[in-house]
Amino acid sequence: MDDIRHKIPSKPERFMDNLRFHIRKQGLSYRTEQTYTHWVKRFIHFNKKKHPADMGAVEIETFLSNLAVQGLCSANTQRIALNALIYLYKRFLGRDIQALDFKLAKQQKYLPVVYSRREISAILDHLEGTYRLQAELMYGSGLRSAELLSLRIKDIDFDSNNIFVRGGKGDKDRTTILPNGLIVQLHRQIKTVSLLHQQDLLAGFGSVYLPNALERKYPSASRQLAWQYLFPSSTIGQCPRSGENRRHHIHATTLARQVRIAVKLTGVNKPARCHAFRHSFATHLLEAGYDLRTIQELLGHSDVSTTEIYTHVVNRGNKGVLSPSDRLRNINKIEEAGANYFVGSKVGEVQGLNLLAAS
């Protein structure tokens, strides 16, 4: 249940609890809270547990430069750490940080890992049951693994063929397509969840975590089938926020492990990542002729430039370029076919003359 906000005192005394309380008051997502507190802790430990109020620009510059030089981190990682420290000093401590002078990490452009359609089919053949359905949804709907596992039963709309993604990256909601080929399996999965939920209710459980203040607004909603997770965990655990024993969704590492095993069995020589199904979804839509704007909306990208990276991995590039090597092979095949046709014609003429002579 590491995607549920932990409970903190209403009047926190510890420094990190005060920082978390401030972040929550600002309405930032839990993922942002986790990221910021992670980098603030690393900053404090890097400076031998010195209190942030006793440090300033010099310590920030040294820490960020160390990430680039000694840590060999990417530019994105360094930028995230910088954002966390700027929030710490400017918004939380109320201190103005002047222009910082630190060693910038090297900016590198990485292309996404994309599986071909043949590879997707082979990987799916090595996944069974719920895990196969999960992988097919990531590929068929472009879902991130966290979005997939956070799906509730109410988020599947069979009438409109839509999947509603609630609180995705950036805490944004969106809709994406529901593959027609998965409707039967999804109905079967919902029926399985329904039976499991009935057993939980009879055992005195059946309550599920609700985000924000929905539990106070709708007290009975947490025990309704519509709010149950589409892919529930096999065990019941203690909720870190309420302390109540509840059934959460399966953990992301469980699905990731199954994908790694399937990719290894398939023999695909590419990194085994759940996110690669999302990359493949976008790339294959682009190859099929769908425009970038449509793909951007389905993926939930705030900027189309993020979606444009898939134009670099589309088969033969985004300009339909034919390799000179392939063109040379095509010319050789044409010449060879012409020569065979010429030889065949001469043989036919000789055979025809022989027939006339014999008659």
Alpha carbon 225 to chain centroid, angstroms: 26
Strands 162-165 and 156-157: antiparallel
Q: Active site residue: 87, 209, 229, 310, which one? A: 310
Question: Is 278 tagged catalytic?
Answer: yes
Q: Active site residue: 22, 248, 278, 279, which one? A: 278
Contact 151, 226 (CB under 8 A): no
Q: Active site residue: 103, 154, 166, 275, which one? A: 275
Question: Is 152 tagged catalytic?
Answer: no
Q: Active site residue: 169, 241, 260, 270, which one? A: 169
Question: Is 126 tagged catalytic?
Answer: no
Q: Active site residue: 144, 246, 249, 284, which one? A: 144
Question: Is 248 tagged catalytic?
Answer: no
Question: Is 301 tagged catalytic?
Answer: yes
Backbone angles phi, psi at 156, to 5 degrees: -100, 110
Question: Is 144 tagged catalytic?
Answer: yes
Catalytic residue numbers, as ranges: 144, 169, 275, 278, 301, 310
